[in-house]
Homo-oligomer: A and B are copies of this chain.
């Protein structure tokens, strides 16, 4: 392919909103352009790499026997009403009414579409297990899309869904996917962090997130300095810490005047004590709670935690099986606790159910709000002075906490999620009435799993990991071209040699970009570095004129170049490239 005919509009400038490296380089290298807020057009160079990532994913899905299908992007709203997500999913779901007044969604994920298909087609245990996937367009109405294609509104995902007869089969489907994902990321040249979580909420189910480290990551990850523990902060547990326990017998509860003292910090300095002795009490509003038999639209809870810790709202949400939790409004706090914000406490609280973090159950001489302005209680003991309606592990784990496995110190990193494999259990198969007849003719509900990889993010993450100041350094497997040929001047003998080498390489199955532009060599070298083609072959008069004509071969990832005989260049390059591709694509 000739450079002049390939529409690669490289840029020196960077759009002001491009903060992260991949966004800057994808723009500068002419891989993408902005079409709207959070919407991007892939230009030819970007699309070539995109399609390679797509093909790697497709091959690895096919290799584990997952079957590709293609539902629509616009999905009937009725399916989302059946699953319950029409209501439970927030405003990120783009809902549309068509001209006849029918509801649709522009698909942000496809559990509904796949489950509806399987519901119609599944009748017998003999059809199980089945694993289906698509590589298709998705839309999520992000309020603040940013970082280029890393967090766009429209994106492409591979999403797969497995349907299995029992836990053993689901476990196999899940493990197969995990292996396929590891192969995908390896072939893309990506170092991923695997973050596992056993979210008990779903009946012994499991989940694994494939993260790449990133300063601007959406996710906070915790790692143990001692063992291989890694977890998303949303789900991380740590070693219980009962350091607030006081073994002396506790005097009776006593009121203390705390005029204009509302925050924990103010209280600490006012009472000259440690935040660990406080029982912090927060009023939460939960929406669509499905707890025990009860199912209610809105409910309020007093959630207590030790004063130096924070509530993990994801854990609270999971505990309550709620669609959403958030701090109650000031008015609701006053109405429900009888006191202004800052004086809530579990003692004598009648209008709210109390949920206590496990750390609170260890406090037997604590301080807490007295449900009256400017008043607190001291000498409060859990069990003696109040009981919680529920107790649970609700704290947000943070750097410095101790590993729940080995007690080692935890530290934090930011990460972006590229892939997620997840056992759904009966979640959608139950709500959408999927069933089959087992060996005995008894109707059963299949288990399922959900497995996604974001293609755009994967592509951007490759650039985040493989670049230098001059531009992208593509791994061979996903490079838009394997070789760029740069004739010093595209004319005469140099042109003839460049044309022939390009032709020879292409015939050998190597993808070549031939820089035929009438530009200074410096401009061509800069562009070659910027767009990151793995091999650069420079052809100039001087090296051609020698008795045995030579060309200069340089790897993008290396500083030094080497001279190769013109006549042998095609063969040598092919051998080197094919060997490296084979190595990268090798089964793990």
- The residues of A with any CB-CB pair to B shorter than 8 Å are 5-7, 9, 33, 35-37, 39-44, 47, 50, 65, 67-76, 78-79, 91-92, 94, 96, 98-100, 102, 104, 106, 113, 116-117, 120-121, 130, 132, 137, 139, 141, 143, 153-154
Contacts and interface: CB of A to CB of B under 8 A. Distances in A.
B73 A137 contact: yes
A132 B7 contact: yes
Contacts of A5: 65
A101 B106 CA distance: 16
7 contacts: A6-B67, A7-B121, A41-B113, A72-B154, A73-B106, A74-B94, A96-B106
A69 B96 contact: no
Given A33-B121, A137-B137, A70 B96 contact: no
A412 B556 CA distance: 63
A426 B121 CA distance: 51
A69 B44 contact: yes
A122 to B, nearest CB: 10
Contact of A73 (B33, B73, B75, B113): B73
A387 to B, nearest CB: 42
A72 B141 contact: no
B33 A117 contact: yes
B117 A75 contact: no
B47 A70 contact: yes
A76 B130 contact: no
Nearest to A154: B72
Given A36-B72, A44-B69, 12 more contacts: A7-B121, A9-B121, A35-B72, A36-B78, A41-B70, A43-B69, A44-B67, A50-B70, A73-B139, A74-B106, A92-B99, A99-B141
Nearest to A153: B74
Contacts of A72: 35-36, 39-41, 137, 154
A278 to B, nearest CB: 38
A561 B7 CA distance: 52
A524 B29 CA distance: 53
Contacts of A47: 68-70
Contacts of A91: 99
A35 B75 contact: yes
A153 B106 CA distance: 13
Contacts of A143: 99-100
A16 B106 CA distance: 28
A44 B68 contact: yes
B65 A42 contact: no
B75 A36 contact: yes
A466 to B, nearest CB: 22
A107 to B, nearest CB: 10
A94 B153 CA distance: 18
A91 B100 CA distance: 10
A37 B351 CA distance: 50
A37 B79 CA distance: 13
Contacts of A67: 6-7, 44
A76 B65 CA distance: 39
Contacts of A9: 121
Contacts of A92: 99
A137 B106 CA distance: 12
A7 B137 contact: no
